[in-house]
Structure 1
Amino acid sequence: MMETNSEWIVKLFKTYRDTKYVYMLLEVCLGGELWTTLRDRGHFDDYTARFYVACVLEGLEYLHRKHIVYRDLKPENCLLTNTGYLKLVDFGFAKKLASGRKTWTFCGTPEYVSPEIILNKGIYICELMLGRPPFQASDPMKTYTLILKGVDALEIPNRRIGKTATALVKKLCRDNPGERLGSGSGGVNDIRKHRWFMGFDWEGLRSRALKAPIL
C-alpha cells in the first residue's frame, strides 16, 4: 500500500510494530465500509451500484498499471470518504507481479473466489444490487460447487437487476478467463464502453465533480 498514490486507494502513511502486533497508520475514511451501508439499505439501485463499480474500476486500473493484483474485491474492503467517494483498502491478498506473469495462489473470499479479479467485478455488481453475493451457500465447499456450475446457472435478471446489468455480469463472469470482458487488449476501457455505463460521467468522477449517491 505504501507504493500506491491514488485517490482510489486508502493511503498507508506508516507502520509500527512491537513484540506482539503490527500497527498501520491509515488515511481516515469517515463514511465507513460500503458493506455497512449495503447491509442497512438491503441493496443499491442501478445508479448507486454503477457509481461505486466505476470507482472500483478506477482503483483497479491504477493498481494494474503498477503491476499489482488486488485479489480480494468485496464491499467490506471498500471505504467511503466524507464526500461519499470509494477507496480500496486491505491489501492482505494483493501481490505485485512482473509483466506477463500469473499468480496461482488459491485465495480470497469464498463467494468471490477466482484467480482473476475480472470475475470478481461481476460478482461485486450482483452483491451491490441484490444485497448478497450470487454464489452463496451454507458452507465454503457448497459455494465453490455453485461457482463451478458457472454464471449461466445464476437466476438473473430479477426485479433488482435489469437486463443491461445482467448482460455485463455474464460477460464479466465467463468460465473461460480469456472470454471475460476486460481481459482483452482494451482492458478496463472495454468495460467502460458497456451499455450499463452509457452516459456515465467518467471525467466528473475523476475530478470529484460528480455527486456521490451516498453522503
Structure 2
Amino acid sequence: MASSKAKAESGPQKEGKGAGGVPAGEAAANSRNYRLDELDTVATVGTGTFGRVFLVREQKSRAFYALKQMKIADVIRLKQEQHVHNEKEVLSEVNHPFLIRLLWTHHDERFLYMLMDFVAGGELFSYLRSRGRFSNAAGLFYTSEIVCAIEYLHSKLIVYRDLKPENILLDAEGHIRLTDFGFAKKLSDKTWTLCGTPEYLAPEVIQSKGHGRAVDWWALGILVFEMLAGYPPFFDDNPFGIYQKILSGKLDFPRHLDFYVKDLIKKLLVIDRARRLGNMKNGADDVKKHRWFKMVDWEAVPLKKLKPPITPKVSHEGDTSNFDVYPEDDWKKDPAVPPKELEIFKNF
C-alpha cells in the first residue's frame, strides 16, 4: 500500500439530493486552525509504507481525532509526492456522509500531517474476516452506501482507485466511511499510473491502456463478490497469476449467491469498459436500477436511514478496541529534510 490507512470519519454534514445524496457544489468547509503541540497522542491505529495514523486528543476541547503523519523523506524516496498532493486536493473538495473529512493539514521539517475525524468502528475488513462472509442483506446494505459514495466522487470528476474492505471504515452506528485517498485523483481525461491492490485492478489498468472512473465500478464488482463469497473472484499466489485471471474474465460463483447479485457482478466485471455497468450513458443510475437493489430506497441511503447490519462495539469516543494494536516505537525520531526537498510541500 502506498499510503497509510487513515482512520477517520465524517462529522455532522448537510445532506441533500445531489449526486450520491449531497449537493454537487458543496465542498468540505473547515477553516479552524489546530496546533500540533495541543494534540496529545493516545495510540497508533494504522500503519502504512511511509505513514502512521494516530488517535490524538485535543487538550482544550478534549475531542478525539485521527492524525495521519507521513515521513517526508520516505514520501520523496518512494516518489509518492503527487499522490500525497492528490489526497489533500481531493479531500479538501469533498463533503459526503460516507467519506472521511479532512480538517487540517500541516508540515514541519520531517513530517506531513493530515487531521481527520476519528472513526471508532474499525475496518469492514475485520468484520468480514471474523464472519467469513456477509449475508445477502448485509452485502446489499454496504454496497448501497458505497454506490452513493462512488456516484458522488464521480460527479466531482474524482476517481477513487482503491476500493477494498480495508479502506471502508464503520462509524459507531455501523455506517460506512471510505478512507485512504492516496490513490484518488481528479480526472479530466484518462490516467496511466499503475496503482491499486492486485485483486481489485481493472483490466485496463493492468494493460496500461489509460483508465478513468470505470475502474471504480470494476472494483465494486470485486468487492461485492468478496463480501458475499468471503474471497475475491480472482486470486493467486503471485500478482502475475492474479492479472492473468483478471484478463481471462472467468468467474466461478459459489452456489449460495443470489441470482440477481450474480447478474450485477457479471455486469460490473465486464472487460470492455464501454459496456461496464456504471460507466455507460446513465452512469450510477444504471447500477441503482439493477434488480438486486429493487428494495432499496435510494433517497434514504445518504440520509443514513437504512439500518446497519453490524453495530460496532464502541464504549466511548476514543475507543481503539476495533483496531489492531501497534507497537509504539521511536517512529518520530527522524532527521529533518533539506530545505530544497521541503519546497515540494510548501503549500501543504
The reply to whether TM is greater than 0.5 is yes
Distance 1:171 1:44 in 2: 21
1:121 counterpart residue number = 220
Residue 52 (structure 1) aligns with? 142
Q: In structure 1, the residue corresponding to 2:287 is in which secondary structure?
A: helix
**Which residue does the alignment assign to 2:286?**
190
**Structure 1 residues 206 and 146, CA gap change in structure 2 (3 angstroms):** same
Deviation at 1:23, TM superposition (A): 2.1
Deviation at 1:18, TM superposition (A): 2.9
Distance 1:17 1:130 in 2: 43
**1:29 aligned partner:** 119
User: C-alpha distance in 1, partners of 2:302/2:145?
Assistant: 9
2:255 maps to amino acid: N
Q: Find the structure with the greater CA-based Rg.
A: 2
Match for 2:191 among 100, 103, 109? Answer: 103
Shift of 1:15: 1.8
- Asked if the contact 2:98/2:176 (under 8 Å) is kept, the reply is yes
Query: In structure 2, what is the equivalent of residue 174 of structure 1?
Result: 270
How far off is 1:157 after superposition? 4.3
Computed over aligned residues only, the root mean square deviation of the Cα atoms, in angstroms, reads: 1.2
Asked whether the 8 Å contact 1:124–1:133 carries over to 2, the reply is yes
Measure, in 1, the Cα distance between the counterparts of 2:101 and 2:234.
31
**Distance in 2 (alpha carbons) for counterparts of 1:134 and 1:124:** 9
Give per-residue Cα distances to partners, 1:2-31, cap 9 Å, x unaligned.
211111110011122233322221111111
CA offsets per residue over residues 159-189 of structure 1, 9 Å max, x none? Answer: 2x22211111000011100111111111111
Instruction: Provide the rounded CA distance (Å) in 2 between the counterparts of 1:177 and 1:196.
Output: 21
Over the matched positions of the two proteins, sequence identity in percent amounts to 43
Q: Distance in 2 between matches of 1:154 and 1:137?
A: 14
Return the letter of the residue paired with 2:199. Answer: E
Report the Cα distance in structure 1 between the residues aligned to 2:144 and 2:228, rounded to whole angstroms. Answer: 14
- The question of whether the paired residues in 1 share the 8 Å contact of 2:225 and 2:232 is answered with yes
Q: Report Cα offsets for 1:106-162 as digits up to 9, x if no partner.
A: 210000012421111100100111111111110111111111111xx2111422x22
Matches within 5 A, 1:12-161: 12-98=102-188, 101-114=189-202, 115=205, 116-150=215-249, 153-159=250-256, 161=257
TM-score (norm 2): 0.59
SS of 1:32 mapped into structure 2: coil
Q: TM-score, normalised by structure 1?
A: 0.94
Q: Secondary structure at the match of 1:16?
A: strand
Corresponding residue number in structure 1 for 2:31 = none
CA distance in 2 between counterparts of 1:18 and 1:126 reads 43
Give the secondary-structure state (helix, strand or coil) at the position aligned to 1:73.
Answer: coil
Distance in 1 (alpha carbons) for counterparts of 2:255 and 2:104: 45
Amino acid at match of 1:111: E
**Letter in structure 2 aligned against 1:120:** A
Higher relative helix content: 1
Query: Any stretches of 5+ residues in structure 2 without a counterpart?
Result: 1-90, 206-214, 312-348
